[in-house]
Structure 1
Amino acid sequence: MKSAEEQLSTYKSVHLNSKNIRTHFVGVPLIIWSIFLLLNLIPVNFFAWDDPAISINVASAFAIGVLIYYFKLHASLAIGLSLFILPVLYSTYLVAEVQGAVWIAIGVFVIGWVFQLIGHKYEKAKPAFVDDLNQLLIGPFFLMAELYFMLGLEKELDKQITPMAVEKRRALETLRREARS
Structure 2
Amino acid sequence: MKSLEEWFEEYSDSHQNPTNQKIHKVAVPGIFFSVAGLLWLIPSFSIFGYSIAPYFLILAMVLGFYFSLSFRAFVVMAVFSGFCTMVLLELQGIGANILIISVVMFVVLWVLQFIGHHIEGKKPSFFKDVQFLLIGPAWVFHFILPLTTDDEIE
Pick the TM interval, shorter chain.
Answer: 0.7 to 0.9
Superposed CA offset, 1:23-58 (max 9, x none): 1111111111111111110111569xxxxxxx9622
- 2:75 is the alignment partner of 1:79: yes
Question: Which residue in 2 is equivalent to 1:177?
Answer: none
Q: 1:107 aligns with which of 86, 104, 109?
A: 104
**TM-align CA RMSD:** 2.4
Any stretches of 5+ residues in structure 1 without a counterpart? Answer: 48-54, 157-181
Cα gap change, 1:99 to 1:81, in 2 (>3 Å): closer
Structure 1 position 12, deviation (Å): 0.9
Partner of 1:60 in structure 2? Answer: 56
Residues 99, 141 of structure 1: alpha-carbon distance in 2 compared, 3 angstrom cutoff: closer
| Aligned AA (2:21) | I
TM-score, normalised via structure 2 length: 0.82
- The Cα of 1:17 is off from its aligned counterpart by 1.6
- Equivalent in the alignment of 1:16: 16
TM-score with structure 1 setting the length: 0.71
**1:7 corresponds to:** 7
Which aligned pairs between 1:126-165 and structure 2 lie closer than 5 A? 126-149=123-146
More helix by share: 1
The 2-side partners of 1:92 and 1:146 are apart by 25
Aligned to 1:164: none
Q: Using the alignment, how far apart are the partners of 1:95 and 1:141 within structure 2?
A: 25
Residues paired across the two proteins, number: 146
Give the deviation of 1:154 after TM superposition.
5.3
Highest Rg: 1 or 2? 1
User: Where does the alignment leave 5 or more consecutive residues of structure 2 unmatched?
Assistant: none
Deviation for aligned residue 1:16: 1.4
Q: 1:42 to 1:121 in 2, by over 3 A?
A: same
For residues 78 and 99 of structure 1, do their structure 2 counterparts lie closer, same or farther at Cα, with a shift above 3 Å needed? closer
Give % identity: 33
Q: Is the 8 A contact 2:70 2:148 kept in 1?
A: no
| Contact kept? 1:14, 1:123, Cα under 8 Å | yes
Question: Residue type matched to 1:36 in 2?
Answer: A
Q: Distance in 2 between matches of 1:45 and 1:90?
A: 22
Alignment check: 8 A CA contact 1:40 1:93 kept: no
For 2:40, the equivalent position in structure 1 comes to: 40
